[in-house]
């Protein structure tokens, strides 16, 4: 998305969170947004009460606690995909796959050709490349653990794990060509565990990986 152009044209404010950090943002309607590391939110300084809806634009991952306003739905835009709510708690993670996880309330996830309604403990996964979207039942509490500083991976591909670790710990992780980035891992880490703790567990359970950590760069081989 042409984020800067979009922000200037729509007179939106950008809140960007650097890698290794998180940030809590309160919007003018009382909605609370917690942005994960490496994420950006574009939003108006004040929602216009004469508009039919409240629009914000997300790049990355965020948890939303939306203030109720039945006459003015809250819309989260992630590229072509939209998440529409009246008042609820949910998490959106936008990468190649856009994952929307509902904790409380009700949301509609939609784009031009497909739409799904989520109830609590349901998750919609949208593939930006194929345009396909699937829905499944989940434990929604697992998908907001990052707000408490925890890391949780549940049958997560190594490619996604690496991207999350780079944002969380503000490091560069490079994998040699021989590393299979599609292999999946299930791991959980406390807030006080560092990147070396994570890499030691990852390489141990993989059985065929090792790593070298030099300054801010990690090489996985």
pLDDT bin (cut points 50, 70, 90) of residue 50 is confident
pLDDT in tens, 72-114: 999 999 999 999 998 899 999 998 899 999 999 999 999 988 9
Q: What percent of the chain has pLDDT over 90?
A: 85
| pLDDT for the residue 2 | 43
The dihedral over CA atoms of 69, 145, 115, 84, expressed in degrees to the nearest 10, equals 20
**pTM for the full predicted model:** 0.87
What is the rounded distance in angstroms from the CA atom of residue 220 to the CA atom of residue 211? 4
Residue recorded with tokens 């990690």: 218
Q: Burial level of 70, CB count in 10 A (0-12/13-18/19+)?
A: exposed
Asked if residue 70 has pLDDT above 60, the reply is: yes
Higher-pLDDT residue of 4 and 133 is: 133
Backbone angles phi, psi at 81, to 5 degrees: -85, 145
Give pLDDT tens digits for 129-188.
999 999 999 999 999 999 999 999 988 999 999 999 999 999 999 999 999 999 999 999
Full 3-state SS string of the chain: CCHHHHHHHCCCEEEECCCCCCEEEECCCCCEEEECCCCEEEECCCCCCCCCCEEEEEECEEEEECCCCCCCCEEEEECCEEEEECCCEEEEEECCEEEEEEEECCEEEECCCCEEEECCCEEEEEECCCCCEEEEECCHHHHHHHHHCCEEEEEEEHHHHHHHHHHHHCCEEEECCCCCCCCEEEEEECCCCCHHHHHHHHHHHHCCCCEEEECCEEEEC
């Amino acid at each position: 998305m042409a984020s800067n152009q979009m922000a200037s044209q729509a007179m939106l404010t950008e809140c960007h969170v650097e890698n290794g950090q998180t940030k809590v943002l309160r919007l003018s309607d009382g909605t609370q947004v917690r942005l994960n590391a490496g994420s950006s939110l574009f939003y108006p300084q004040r929602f216009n009460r004469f508009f039919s809806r409240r629009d914000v634009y997300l790049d990355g991952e965020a948890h939303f606690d939306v203030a109720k306003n039945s006459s003015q739905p809250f819309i989260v835009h992630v590229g072509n995909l939209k998440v529409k709510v009246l008042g609820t708690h949910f998490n959106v993670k936008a990468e190649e796959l856009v994952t929307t996880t509902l904790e409380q309330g009700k949301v509609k996830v939609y784009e031009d050709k497909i739409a799904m309604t989520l109830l609590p403990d349901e998750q919609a996964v949208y593939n930006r490349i194929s345009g396909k979207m699937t829905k499944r039942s989940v434990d929604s509490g697992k998908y907001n653990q990052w707000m408490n500083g925890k890391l949780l991976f549940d049958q997560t591909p190594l490619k996604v794990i690496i991207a999350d670790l780079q944002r969380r710990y503000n490091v560069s992780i490079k994998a040699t060509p021989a590393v299979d980035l599609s292999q999946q891992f299930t791991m959980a880490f406390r807030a006080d565990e560092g990147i070396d703790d994570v890499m030691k567990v990852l390489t141990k359970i993989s059985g065929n990986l090792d790593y070298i950590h030099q300054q801010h760069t990690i090489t996985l081989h």
